[in-house]
Structure 1
């Protein structure tokens, strides 16, 4: 039996970060005869005030109000009887003390930076992060690093050239119920209201699109939590007012579950024009509903064009406009083919139920478990 512990900021049912869902789906899918998982998370993004949750006999979660002493103490307590400690952030404050405890206890260690080493991300609080990385470099030969795409893998190799090992495994998902809804004339963005997401470019592009397709709208699903995100949200509202798009661009706020899936399923396409994205779980959520995706070339989604499930484009107003118009101008049959391709891509490449063996074999390999 291989036991894995995950110390992280947020976990399902929280929807405040990608790992909250992707790690939940992973832990649910692991074969209970050979694997067990313990999660130590904060209550960030939770609606309920529960302190713990048992999803199964081999899948337990402890929630804490903060990432302070109690969180760290619980993580260290659990790692002593675990085989693997899997971190989903380099810069999450408890990572360093728990990492040092894992090294002292001779545990197998995995770190998934999840985009934190990308230039757009690391430039924020750059000095602090540089110091953090220099400390982790001292122990890199004891750490396995996990990337979700090959571009991130190269960044990890450059940053930690003496790492014990590196591997690429994409995020997988538990396929939701596919909703068969009428498709509207709306494009949708889902994610944080954050400058890194380039939402301002989408607003400028939709202003161009409606010149020839006046019934088109842009739905923005997501919230601004941090101060600089709230400031960015205000600039977006000012931009919408200046361009007279109050009836075209709609902010829906944060949506979860089937409500969010309905918005995605009924949209012409999901738009992800980010400056950087190490994966983008929202792409899977769209593909699972058969909704095509238009993602920027700063994301690892070249496969969208390979499988004719959407577009992979340079994130400029001109390119976003041109490719939105391409989608709108597809005939009914070609558009339906694109929707079918989107669903089939998700089902074949990213369904956790048919790909869980990738993680199981990886865990077995790095622990020398037979």
Structure 2
């Protein structure tokens, strides 16, 4: 029997695609390693042309020309190329852009199964951003594309609940994003050049609520003058400038806001941090939390991200939204000894290595595909508990 042929489809495979592109890259490789025939389809953009082909580690990628506004991602050849390659399943990643409409067309033409990963884009707080664009997309194609899916993929039980709350009835496979465990031990800070640091890495976007982190820092900076706060990531909607203005208005001396970092540079920053802080309003997974834990760095996360396990595994704090809650937790975490924080980090590394390896994630995902296309295949255990039957 020929290997199951799976097409991964998303808007962008470059750094412009942020966490979605990173998840597609790693998951496509993990599924291919399970013996499935995988190809990734995405749209071209300047960032891909600059560095994508040389750094891409996922399954074979076909990058197609796009036209019109980048926020729509119109790729006229996508349906044709899907038909030409003739996959058994298409797995769509992300919503609201033209690739969802193309996959809907392909599914109607072929009657083959589609899996959709919303990547947190159905969370109520996420839906509140650019509501006009999303209403138009829903009316034109997105609602139909979601209803066409045979299986929906959530990266956490919290995201599964958001999908249910959106009104979708299909089976939901709950499979987290994976992580490549850091092979290096956490860095040991020493000297004035390596002051203890709290770091937050990711998109610098209003949904990340980084203004709350800056305001919380203002409440504790006088008592922790030897510490720094570093916010790192690509700015969207002019948010980095707003944060700079906020830090200036609060007379903060130890706050740095800088642009995006990638690869080894990002991992090095995580390893050298004493704490990672995530103040986000909503996250479907928050890969940077897993990366931080893998680097041995304890994490403070708001309950906008599905990381209750930080408390259960003794490697961080899972807190309510708000400036006061963040300030109180920062004060507690920064008051611990370095050895206490390192012990928390070691527990986080063990947790990531045990439960979030890509081999396990690839095996679970491949089992969902086989259940969809092979006769007499048992239903995987990863489905959300509300679902019954195939």
- SS of equivalent residue, structure 2 residue 12: coil
Structure 1 equivalent of residue 242 of structure 2 = 235
Q: TM-score, normalised by structure 1?
A: 0.89
- SS of equivalent residue, structure 1 residue 71: coil
Structure 2 equivalent of residue 144 of structure 1 = 151
Q: 1:32 to 1:204 in 2, by over 3 A?
A: closer
Instruction: Tell whether 2:134 aligns with 1:132.
Output: no
Cα distance between partner residues in 1 of 2:323 and 2:56: 45
Tell which deviates more after alignment, 116-125 or 137-146.
Answer: 137-146
- SS of equivalent residue, structure 1 residue 17: helix
Residues 42 and 64, structure 1, Cα contact 8 Å, conserved in 2: yes
> What pairs up with 1:212-291 in 2 under 5 angstroms?
212-225=223-236, 229-230=237-238, 232-245=239-252, 247-291=253-297
Structure 2 equivalent of residue 21 of structure 1 = 22
Q: 1:52 to 1:202 in 2, by over 3 A?
A: closer
1:71: how far off?
3.1
1:277: how far off?
0.8
Instruction: Tell whether 2:89 aligns with 1:84.
Output: yes
What do residues 10-36 of structure 1 show as CA deviations (whole Å, max 9, x unaligned)?
A: 225x36411212221122223557302
1:290: how far off?
0.6
Structure 1 equivalent of residue 59 of structure 2 = 59
What do residues 158-183 of structure 1 show as CA deviations (whole Å, max 9, x unaligned)?
A: 334343x2221111122343353124
Structure 2 equivalent of residue 104 of structure 1 = 109
The number of residue pairs the alignment matches comes to 362
Cα distance between partner residues in 2 of 1:29 and 1:199: 33
1:98: how far off?
2.5
Q: CA RMSD in A?
A: 2.5
Instruction: Tell whether 2:211 aligns with 1:200.
Output: yes
Structure 1 equivalent of residue 5 of structure 2 = 3
> What pairs up with 1:166-185 in 2 under 5 angstroms?
166-183=172-189, 184-185=195-196
Structure 1 equivalent of residue 47 of structure 2 = 46
1:2: how far off?
1.0
- SS of equivalent residue, structure 2 residue 120: coil
Cα distance between partner residues in 2 of 1:45 and 1:355: 31
Q: 1:33 to 1:308 in 2, by over 3 A?
A: closer
Q: Any stretches of 5+ residues in structure 1 without a counterpart?
A: none
Cα distance between partner residues in 2 of 1:52 and 1:257: 15
Q: 1:45 to 1:18 in 2, by over 3 A?
A: farther
Q: 1:356 to 1:6 in 2, by over 3 A?
A: closer
Tell which deviates more after alignment, 93-102 or 135-144.
Answer: 135-144
- SS of equivalent residue, structure 1 residue 220: strand
Cα distance between partner residues in 2 of 1:74 and 1:100: 10
Structure 2 equivalent of residue 359 of structure 1 = 365
1:49: how far off?
4.4
Residues 100 and 142, structure 2, Cα contact 8 Å, conserved in 1: no
Q: 1:32 to 1:350 in 2, by over 3 A?
A: closer
1:143: how far off?
2.9
- SS of equivalent residue, structure 2 residue 276: strand
Structure 2 equivalent of residue 300 of structure 1 = 306
Residues 185 and 217, structure 1, Cα contact 8 Å, conserved in 2: yes
- SS of equivalent residue, structure 2 residue 317: strand
1:325: how far off?
1.4
